[in-house]
Structure formats: structure tokens, C-alpha cells
A and B are shown apart, each in its own frame.
Chain A
Amino acid sequence: MKYFVGIDIGSTAIKISIVDKNKNIAGYKISASGSMFYKYAQETLDALIDEMGIGQNDIAYIVATGYGRKLYKEASENISEITANAIGARAAAKDFGEIKTIINIGGQDSKAISLDNNGNVVNFAMNDRCAAGTGKFLDVVALKLELEVDSLGEYHFKSKGTPLSVSSTCAVFAESEIIGLLGNDHSIEDIICGVHYSIARRIVKLVKRVGIKEGVYFDGGPALNAGLVNAIENELGQRIFVPKHPQITTSFGAAIMGVDSYNYSNSQ
């Protein structure tokens, strides 16, 4: 049995997906990027292979993607995370329907990708201002509020008052705004809800730049946050589709592309 690997080396996490020759997901693993991308990527891959009970020889093709992709020299090929994300999203959302717009929020960037009817990338936009409105931003917020980042979604839905807006686009300034709000005894729920809306408004602006089309897919780690999903849906005024494992879409797309590349080179 041959397997195909997609490695997505992001700023915050390394995501690896392995698919079989039919492009079905066979295994995946997520670990922190740390500072030694190459080393951790290799360790994560080895661990995943062990878990799956397969051997190194079963790996037919490796595609690296993500911000640290060029640091992973063993890859057979590397592609940009935009292409990989588009392929992965369409495959992951088969049951949902046609995907036309992708919102991806990563550890240190956020992007909106617009696809045509055949799934080709026609336009994309990325945040141009540092870590504002990214996963890192949520980490900072959670840290200041002394909460786990996973629990932010829960607090969002408990907000009873008007969400308290955080207007700074800079994560550092936003942090001091949050400290100010806390100092004045505002409810943590309203603050969190406000933070989600400020990220949502920023991301919706990004989406507007590429044009909002029906069939919106949302992935990246922050998509696990139901509160943020709710805020983006309200700002967009439409339902969005969040996959079960929003973190691995891009590595999944890279692995799928690996199958095609492998088949192509073997047919020549």
C-alpha cells in the first residue's frame, strides 16, 4: 500500500496528513512548531508513521507546504499554502457542497481565498498588518484573561451585554485595551465576545476584498473556536462551513496533490 504525505509547517503548529492512493485520509498528527521546524516535522512524521503501523518505505511522496515548507528538504515537492488550502478545503467539504470562498486564520496570518467553479484559486488576500486578528491574538487574549484558549468559545455565548469592542489592530495595544477593560470590572464574557467580533470584522473586510460568494469554508486552528465562528457568521450574514478538523485542511490538500503529482510522474 502506498501512502502520500502532506506536511504543513505553520508558525505555530506542524500539521501532517497522510492519505492513501484514493485520497482518503489515513492518519494525521498535529504538534507545536517550536523553533526547530525541520527536526520537529521529522519527529512528528516518524511518530505518525509508527502510530499507523506502516513503514517508511510505504511513503511514496511527500509534499511540504506552509510558511516553513522550504526548511523541510526531504519533501518531494513543495507548494504554497494557498493552493494546498484550496485543494484540501474542496475535498474536505465534499458533503457540504461547492466551496467558493475560504477563510483561513492561522497562527500569525489570516487569509481569504476565492475559488472558481473548478476549484482554481482566482484571487486571494492576506492580512498585511502583523498578528492582528490571528490565532496569536487569541493566545494573547487568553493569556491576559488567564484562560485556556480552548475555552474562549464557551465564554462568548455567555455574553449578556453589548460586546466590548477592541479597536486596536495591534496585538500589543489590544492587550493594553483588554487590561483597561478588566481594570474597570467589565465582564470577561463581553470582552471575549468583543474580541471575537473585532477579529470577525477584520476578516470579513479581507473576504470582501476577494468578493463574498456562497459556500464559505473556515479553517485553521481558530476555527475550533465556536464563538469566533458565530461572530464571523453574524458579520458575513451567512452560514459558514467548518470541517471537523479545521487545522489539517492544508496538509490534507498537500497530500492529495502528492497523489496527483506521483501519478503524473509515473505515467510519463
Chain B
Amino acid sequence: MNINTDHVIESPKEKQNRHKAMEAVKLLNTLKEDFKAQIESMGYFYDLFERVYCKQESLHNDKTKIGTMCIQIPSEIIYALDGVPIRLCNGFYTDDEIGSDLMPQKACPLVKATVGHFASGNFSDKPDIIFSPTTCDQKTKVGSIIENFGYKIIDVDFPRTKESEASREYWRRSVKQFAVELSEFQGKKLTRPNLRNAVKKIGYAQSLYHKLSEFRKNNIIPIRGLDMFLVTNAFFFDRIDSWIEAVEILIAELEVRTKENVNVASQLSPRVVYTGSPPIFPNFKIPQIIEGSDAVIVADETCSSNRMFNDMTAVDEWNIYDIMDSMSDKYLKACTCPIFTKNDDRIRRIIQLVKAYNADGVVYQAFAGCTVYEMEQKSVLEAMEKEGIPILYLESDYSPSQGGQLSTRVEAFIESLKTKRRKNK
């Protein structure tokens, strides 16, 4: 009888890091290996995610890291005050499992995973302070749980109606308050040139996203939706200058591919618009099933991609307060998040995307527990029906074992779109 003692048992942190590395590598391998017509310059992004999630490499050692709990915290102000925004929305199943012990059973996996991440505390870039906009219920309430783990959290009041002038004023005040608090935390003053530069830089990053998206309007599509999601997800935490450079190189390669007629899909592959709860690395489960079933995602309406980049701030204002106001509007008025009371904008946006990108159908995915997306499902489905746009609604979570049933439904939907394409030829 013996006890095996010739190896050291992992610490909880090492274990958690291994779990994350295993999840990350699994997705990255799929992206690198399972599809045809690989893009060389995507290597930067594959490598970036591997460095951060498998090797826990810090990218921002020299900077103050400002954690944001949702897209409504203006990154422009963070950059202007010499901080680095780190978006904390999390897609790891292993963190979701940890978070499940701290949240109600039926809560949203994204929020549970975010809480789990704080509970385990293994950040490659740990946020020095966290700003939490009061968006959906779960995100709003989660601050107090996270605080228990010793993080500094500041709530940022966010209104849930976007039509009224009162809420516009309210949000503008919130953004100013946020700027004041961050300015105090950083010991720096928000100046017009700094803010202008930051707005310009973010605007430039957004313009690159638009350029990337343009390629997907073509008949021959040089980039898969999965790769697009990886690029936009990288914006959550990457050094902005490196990101910009990598995307510029990517665009140059896509131009060459377009000339050479390199298609990531076939002529028959249905073109899909993806909407609903955001795909966050490494939970690309549904996009993986869609593109694994020979469809291609040509556009999306989610907060981890399109919504982050779609609308830009005008920088031609003279006064710092005017810049602030126009920036605040971008985060409220242009936002299509389902937390708002009325949200016809989202329906309009989806229809517009379907038309602009010549899509055959829409896949609407909601996380089980993501109540707002679940609730808005009905109105979106009705609107699509009216427009004659085929749509598939799915509920999913972060667990890796759910694949079978979901893929059957997605495959059947894709096949029906394909049949239509074939007939119309």
C-alpha cells in the first residue's frame, strides 16, 4: 500500500488557471484547425489569447487598470486619464461553475462567470478599480458580491429609458460624475486635448471595425464570423495600439484575399446575422455550431462586437463639455441593449443588418437566465416574421456538454436556409 507523493498537487489558483487554459486552447485549436482558408494575420489574435489565458501574461504592467462591468463605461475618458479599460465580462465555464455557488441557480452564466472570476481572483491584469453601470438587474446587484472579495467598485447610474430628455440629462450627469471620480483616483485632470485624442483613437479603432465589416458584405467572404468575434473580444483587454496595428495588417490581408477570391465559405453557405447574448471568449459555442454547419456569420448585433463599435462620437466640438455630451449620447441613445423599456432600435438594427449584409436569416441566442434577451425574443421574432426574415431562437449556457441538441436545431435551420438559396439560384 502506498501513497503517491512524487508530484506536487496544484494550488487552487493553478488548478483554475489550468481549467481556463484548457478551455481557451480548445477553442483556439478549433479556430486554427477546423476551418478552411485560414487567415495568416489572425495569428496575432490566436497568440494574444493564448498569452493572456494560457500563460497569464500581463499586458498592462505599467498602467492603472480600470475594470468595466459593461460597455456603457466610456473608454475614451479612461484613456484620456491615462488608464487602461479592461472589460470584465467573462466567458469561461470554469468561472461560471465557481460563480454558481455565489449566485442564484437560474442567474445568467455571463454574470456568474464574472463573479466566479473575482472569487478565484486570477487575473492576468487585475483591475485596480471597477466601474459598474447599473444596466441589467444582475449586473447591478453583482457589485455588492464582488466587493466582498476586496475589490473597489463604483456604481455608475444608468437610466433604463432612452427616449426621454430627462434620462439623457441624467446619464450625462452620471458620465461627468464618473469622470470626476476617475480623475481623483488617477490624480489627473481631464483636459480637452487628452479627451479629444482618446475619442479620436477609439473612433479610429471603430472605423477599422467598419472596414472589416465591409468585407463581409461581399459575395465572397474573406473572414469568418468566429474570427471577427475573436478580434472584437480582443478589444476588451488588448493594448489599443497593438490592436489597431494588428487590425490594419488584417485588413491589408483581407484586401489581398478579396482580390484573390478567397472565400471562407461556399457559394451555397447561408449568410447569418447573429444577435442576442454576447459571445465572449471562450464561449463561442453557438457561433461555432453555426459556422461548423457550413453557414457564415456576416454580421452581428451583440455587445461584444457590433454594439461596441457601431456608433462613433463626433470630435468636432470645441468645448470639453460638448465632447462629453456627445460621447454620453453614444452610450445611451445609440445603445440597443434589451435592458431599455422600449427597444425598437434593436429590431431596426437587425433588419438593417440583414439587408445591408444580404443575410439569409438570423440566429437569436439568449443565455438561460439572461432575462432581458429572453423577454425581447418574442417581439423580435414577430418583427422578423413580418419582414419575412427566417429566425431561429436558441437558449444556451456555458456548459460544454450541451452541444448535441443545439447543433441539431442549428443544422436544421441552416439547411432550410440553404435549400432556399439553392432554389433561388
Please provide the chain B residues from 1 to 57 with a CB less than 8 Å away from any CB of chain A in the complex.
1-5, 7, 9-12, 14-15, 18, 21-26, 29, 33, 54
Interface status of A229 (Cβ within 8 A of chain B)? yes
Q: Which residues of A contact B (CB under 8 A)?
A: 92-93, 95-96, 157, 161-165, 167-169, 181, 184, 186, 194, 197, 226, 229-230, 233-235, 237-239, 241-244
Interface status of B242 (Cβ within 8 A of chain A)? no
Task: List 10 contacting pairs A-B, 8 Å CB cutoff, sorted by A.
Answer: A93-B1, A95-B1, A162-B54, A164-B22, A165-B25, A167-B403, A169-B401, A234-B10, A242-B3, A242-B4
- Is A234 touching B9 in the complex (CB atoms < 8 A)? yes
Query: With A184-B33, A186-B29 known to touch, is A165 a contact of B2 (CB < 8 Å)?
Result: no
Minimal beta-carbon separation of B105 from chain A (angstroms): 15
Give A93's nearest chain B residue, CB to CB.
Answer: B1
Central interface residue in B5, B400, B403, by most chain A CB within 10 Å: B400
Give A205's nearest chain B residue, CB to CB.
Answer: B97
Interface range on chain B (Cβ under 8 Å from partner):
20 to 34
- Is B15 touching A234 in the complex (CB atoms < 8 A)? yes
B401's partner among A168, A186, A234, A235 (CB-CB below 8 A) is A168
- Is B5 touching A239 in the complex (CB atoms < 8 A)? yes
B29's partner among A184, A234, A241 (CB-CB below 8 A) is A184
- Is B15 touching A165 in the complex (CB atoms < 8 A)? no
Give A198's nearest chain B residue, CB to CB.
Answer: B22
Report whether over half of chain B's contact residues are helix, strand or loop; otherwise say mixed: helix
- Is A237 touching B22 in the complex (CB atoms < 8 A)? no
| Alpha-carbon distance A230/B7, docked complex (angstroms) | 8
Inter-chain pairs besides A165-B25, A233-B7, A243-B1, 12 sampled, C-beta below 8 Å:
A162-B18, A163-B22, A164-B25, A165-B23, A167-B26, A168-B403, A186-B29, A234-B10, A235-B15, A239-B5, A241-B1, A242-B2
Minimal beta-carbon separation of A118 from chain B (angstroms): 22
Give B401's nearest chain A residue, CB to CB.
Answer: A169
Shortest 5 CB-CB distances between A and B: which pairs?
Answer: A167-B400, A162-B21, A165-B22, A162-B25, A234-B10
Minimal beta-carbon separation of B401 from chain A (angstroms): 5
Chain A residues near B12: list those with CB within 8 A. 237
Give B12's nearest chain A residue, CB to CB.
Answer: A237
Minimal beta-carbon separation of A89 from chain B (angstroms): 11
Minimal beta-carbon separation of B282 from chain A (angstroms): 11
| Alpha-carbon distance A230/B400, docked complex (angstroms) | 23
Query: With A234-B15, A235-B15, A239-B9 known to touch, is A229 a contact of B25 (CB < 8 Å)?
Result: no
| Alpha-carbon distance A242/B2, docked complex (angstroms) | 6
| Alpha-carbon distance A230/B24, docked complex (angstroms) | 22
Minimal beta-carbon separation of A24 from chain B (angstroms): 14
Give B4's nearest chain A residue, CB to CB.
Answer: A229
Chain A residues near B14: list those with CB within 8 A. 234
Chain B residues near A169: list those with CB within 8 A. 401
| Alpha-carbon distance A164/B12, docked complex (angstroms) | 20
Chain A residues near B7: list those with CB within 8 A. 157, 230, 233
Minimal beta-carbon separation of B293 from chain A (angstroms): 16
- Is A244 touching B1 in the complex (CB atoms < 8 A)? yes
- Is A162 touching B22 in the complex (CB atoms < 8 A)? yes
Query: With A184-B33, A234-B10 known to touch, is A226 a contact of B4 (CB < 8 Å)?
Result: yes
Chain B residues near A234: list those with CB within 8 A. 9-10, 14-15, 18
- Is A96 touching B25 in the complex (CB atoms < 8 A)? no
B10's partner among A165, A167, A229, A237 (CB-CB below 8 A) is A237
Query: With A184-B33, A233-B9, A234-B10 known to touch, is A241 a contact of B25 (CB < 8 Å)?
Result: no
Complex interface bits, B381-409 against A, C-beta within 8 A gives 1, otherwise 0: 00000000000000000001101000000
| Alpha-carbon distance A93/B3, docked complex (angstroms) | 10
Chain A residues near B2: list those with CB within 8 A. 242, 244
Central interface residue in B11, B12, B18, B23, by most chain A CB within 10 Å: B18
Chain B residues near A243: list those with CB within 8 A. 1
Minimal beta-carbon separation of B332 from chain A (angstroms): 40
Minimal beta-carbon separation of B422 from chain A (angstroms): 29
Chain B residues near A244: list those with CB within 8 A. 1-2
Minimal beta-carbon separation of A37 from chain B (angstroms): 29
A164's partner among B10, B15, B26, B400 (CB-CB below 8 A) is B26
| Alpha-carbon distance A163/B403, docked complex (angstroms) | 21
Central interface residue in B11, B14, B29, by most chain A CB within 10 Å: B29
| Alpha-carbon distance A237/B18, docked complex (angstroms) | 13
| Alpha-carbon distance A243/B33, docked complex (angstroms) | 42
Chain A residues near B29: list those with CB within 8 A. 164, 181, 184, 186
| Alpha-carbon distance A83/B380, docked complex (angstroms) | 57
| Alpha-carbon distance A192/B11, docked complex (angstroms) | 22
Give B7's nearest chain A residue, CB to CB.
Answer: A230
| Alpha-carbon distance A5/B235, docked complex (angstroms) | 67
| Alpha-carbon distance A58/B401, docked complex (angstroms) | 53
Give A238's nearest chain B residue, CB to CB.
Answer: B9
Chain A residues near B10: list those with CB within 8 A. 234, 237
| Alpha-carbon distance A95/B1, docked complex (angstroms) | 8
B1's partner among A96, A157, A239 (CB-CB below 8 A) is A96
| Alpha-carbon distance A93/B21, docked complex (angstroms) | 36
Chain B residues near A92: list those with CB within 8 A. 1
- Is B401 touching A167 in the complex (CB atoms < 8 A)? yes
- Is A165 touching B26 in the complex (CB atoms < 8 A)? yes
| Alpha-carbon distance A243/B3, docked complex (angstroms) | 8
Give A190's nearest chain B residue, CB to CB.
Answer: B25
Minimal beta-carbon separation of B198 from chain A (angstroms): 36
Give B2's nearest chain A residue, CB to CB.
Answer: A244
Central interface residue in B1, B5, B18, by most chain A CB within 10 Å: B1
A197's partner among B5, B11, B22, B33 (CB-CB below 8 A) is B22
Minimal beta-carbon separation of A135 from chain B (angstroms): 19
Minimal beta-carbon separation of A127 from chain B (angstroms): 13
Chain B residues near A241: list those with CB within 8 A. 1, 3
